Amino acid sequence: MGRKKFFTAITLFGISFTLAILMILVSFLETEVGQTKPLTDKESIVVLPTLELRQMYYDTIYTYDTSYVNGEMVLDSSYTVDEAGQSNSNSELAMTYLQRHFDDLPNVRLKTFFSDANVFNAYVNNSKVVMSTVYADAGFWDVFDFEFTEGFGFSQSAIDQAEPVAVITTELADQYFGKEENVLGEFVELDGQDLKVIGVVEPAGVSLLSFGIVVPHTLETTVNRQEEVGFGSYIAVFKGDGAAGAARIKDDIKFVNSTLEVHPSYQEYFNEVILRPSTYHEIYADALLDMDYNDGAGTSLGVMKWILLGLISFFILLPTLNLINLNVSRILERSSEIGVRKSFGATQGTILSQFIIENVIQTILGGVIGIALAMLGIKLINDAKMLGDVVLKLNMRFFLFSLLICLLFGLLSGLLPAYRMSKVHIVNALKKNKI
């Protein structure tokens, strides 16, 4: 590294910059789909996002043919029945519909029904404060493990008595009160109601769970005229015992789905009720790729995995190939050194291990620089809110993934040139250059 300082600087820059991009990508994936609060147990979660009413239309297509039987022409006909289209209507679900049909699923350990599609504006000191509002039940605080900086979540008694209370995020506290601490007991105006702050949480920082304030669902004043049909503004989140428990919950929901009938007021237009329970990762992939549900359950998740695999492979293989070429030319300059070492008894394995270790050390050094660049990049992304409400996080999993990427990078870029040079004959190595 000291012999060719300019070459070393270029190599370290290429390694550190590439690893920084990879680490930011890993941090994003860890935040969105990894085991991070308030969703540290994502594989056990099942989401029921919408209710769909559907009616399929079919068309009969006839095929005519003629043949001769005993000299007489006979007309043959056949037909097929194919789908000719469909009519459907879908929406999030009504709270009453969820309570009636999904309150007691056998494999559910925890559950919550909440509405997150609500935005209200408040004016504080002549400034508008936008409040993304969640109407939720008491189970919201059991399913999601938020980090409370002050206070606690509301209880079932607060739900039953429609107590005017609220839990807000530190971000909303700063916007509304000008401070993130010591806001318990303060009041927030929401939709014409004064709500007492009983808890403060850190922002979720996950794109599928974004809000500023959570209040009991019994405080909701909006009346949905289609609640008897099942349409509303609520989604359901169930939690089981691991991935196997989540699979059983999906089966429970599908069984309930098989017993549901279209409300009489809609039977003129629709004849089928369709529910699509999905895991957290399936929901995330559907939202990210916006694929049609008819493509099949889990299709978008499979596509997302292939896209991520392709991106990671591209970021690893392309700079690795460049580094291999650089390492080959660099090692060729040391051919005489290799020849002398071999003449004094160094084996092929010794030479191979030497160059691999040198390359791994250099890559780890570049990785340390890359980690520093990634931390700086993550801070800039979070401060500028480049990803909206998503907050990239640094944790042990992030560093472990980063270390793994560094080691993989070093091995891939050093193995081939080291292997080639370890096989060089002593005489040929000594002829190349002077020591």
- Asked if residue 296 is part of any domain, the answer here is no
Q: Which of 275, 295, 312 is the last residue of a domain?
A: 275
Q: Which of 275, 291, 314 is the last residue of a domain?
A: 275
DSSP for 310-353, please give it. HHHHHHHHHHHHHHHHHHHHHHHTTHHHHHHHHHTT--HHHHHH
* Tokens encoding 151: 């206070």
Residue 118 and residue 256 in one domain: yes
Residue 253 and residue 321 in one domain: no
Alpha helices per DSSP H over 385-425: 396-422
Model pLDDT for residues 41-52, shown as the tens digit of each residue:
888 999 999 999
The pLDDT assigned to 435 comes to 42
Residue 234 and residue 107 in one domain: yes
Sign, CA torsion 360/361/362/365:
positive
What is the dihedral angle through the alpha carbons of 203, 204, 209, 213, rounded to the nearest 10 degrees? -30
Residue segments in the chain with a per-residue pLDDT below the cut of 50: 295-296, 434-435
- Asked if residue 340 is part of any domain, the answer here is yes
The SS3 assignment for 292 reads coil
Residue 271 and residue 311 in one domain: no
The pLDDT assigned to 398 comes to 63
Residue 22 and residue 170 in one domain: no
- Asked if residue 286 is part of any domain, the answer here is no
The pLDDT assigned to 112 comes to 96
Helix axes 299-332, 335-343, angle to 10 degrees: 80
- What is the total count of domains within the chain? 2
Residue 314 and residue 261 in one domain: no
Q: In terms of C-beta density within 10 A (0-12 exposed, 13-18 middle, 19 or more buried), how is residue 121 classed?
A: exposed
The pLDDT assigned to 251 comes to 94
Model pLDDT for residues 354-405, shown as the tens digit of each residue:
777 877 787 788 778 888 888 888 888 888 777 766 677 766 666 677 667 7
The pLDDT assigned to 82 comes to 66
Residue 233 and residue 116 in one domain: yes
- Asked if residue 382 is part of any domain, the answer here is yes
Residue 366 and residue 246 in one domain: no
- Asked if residue 225 is part of any domain, the answer here is yes
Q: By residue range, what is the domain housing residue 239? A: 50-61+77-275
Q: Which of 234, 256, 275 is the last residue of a domain?
A: 275
The pLDDT assigned to 284 comes to 76
CA–CA distance from 328 to each of 324, 359, 364 (Å)?
6, 12, 19
The pLDDT assigned to 221 comes to 80
Residue 127 and residue 256 in one domain: yes
Residue 216 and residue 329 in one domain: no
Instruction: Determine the Cα–Cα distance for residues 282 and 13; give it in Å rounded to an integer.
Output: 37
Residue 257 and residue 311 in one domain: no
Residue 417 and residue 374 in one domain: yes
